[in-house]
Amino acid sequence: MKNKFLLEISVESVEAAAAAERGGADRIELCDNLSLGGLTPQAALIHAVRQQIQIPIFVMIRPRAGDFVYSPAEFAEMKKSIAAARDARASGLVFGILKADRTVDIERTAELVELAQPLPVTFHRAFDACADLSQALEDVARCGASRILTSGGTASAPEGSGNIRMLVAAAGERVTIIPGAGINAGNILQLAAATRARDFHSGLSSVFSRSKANYVQFENEVRAMVKILSTLTPE
pLDDT at 235 over 80: no
Cα–Cα distance for residue pair 206/31, rounded to 1 Å: 18
Those residues whose C-beta lies under 8 Å from the C-beta of residue 70, and which sit 6 or more positions away, are: 63, 78, 97, 108
- pLDDT grade for 1, boundaries at 50, 70 and 90: very low
Q: What is the mean pLDDT of the chain?
A: 94
Residue 204 has a pLDDT of 87
Secondary structure, 3-state, 140-189: HHHHCCCEEEECCCCCCCCCCHHHHHHHHHHHCCCCEEEEECCCCCCCHH
Pick the range with the lowest mean pLDDT from 44-53, 133-142, 212-221.
Answer: 212-221
Residue 214 has a pLDDT of 79
Residue 3 has a pLDDT of 57
Q: Region 13-26: what's the mean pLDDT?
A: 96
CB 67 within 8 A of CB 129: yes
CA-to-CA dists, residue 89 to 12, 94, 112, 116, 216, angstroms: 17, 14, 17, 12, 27
Peptide bond into 120 cis (omega under 30): no
Host H or E run for residue 200: strand 199-202
CB 124 within 8 A of CB 151: no
pLDDT at 135 over 90: yes
CB 199 within 8 A of CB 192: no
For the chain, what percent of residues have pLDDT higher than 90?
Answer: 91
Beta bridge partners of 104: 98
Model confidence pLDDT, tens digit, residues 81-132: 999 999 999 999 999 999 999 999 999 999 999 999 999 999 999 999 999 9
The pTM of this model reads: 0.94
**Which segments within 54-120 are labelled E, that is strand?**
57-60, 92-95
Walk me through the domains of the chain, giving residue ranges and CATH numbers.
Answer: 6-230 (3.20.20.380)
CB 108 within 8 A of CB 80: no
pLDDT at 155 over 80: yes
CB 218 within 8 A of CB 16: yes
Compute the C-alpha angle 163/229/174, nearest 5°: 45
Residue 234 has a pLDDT of 77
Count of residues in the chain: 235
Q: Measuring CA to CA, which residue among 17, 113, 123 is closest to residue 60?
A: 123
Q: Measuring CA to CA, which residue among 223, 113, 100, 126 is closest to residue 180?
A: 126
Q: Region 127-149: what's the mean pLDDT?
A: 97
CB 64 within 8 A of CB 74: yes
Residue 88 has a pLDDT of 95
pLDDT at 163 over 80: yes
Model confidence pLDDT, tens digit, residues 193-224: 999 999 999 998 766 665 556 788 899 999 99
- pLDDT grade for 2, boundaries at 50, 70 and 90: low
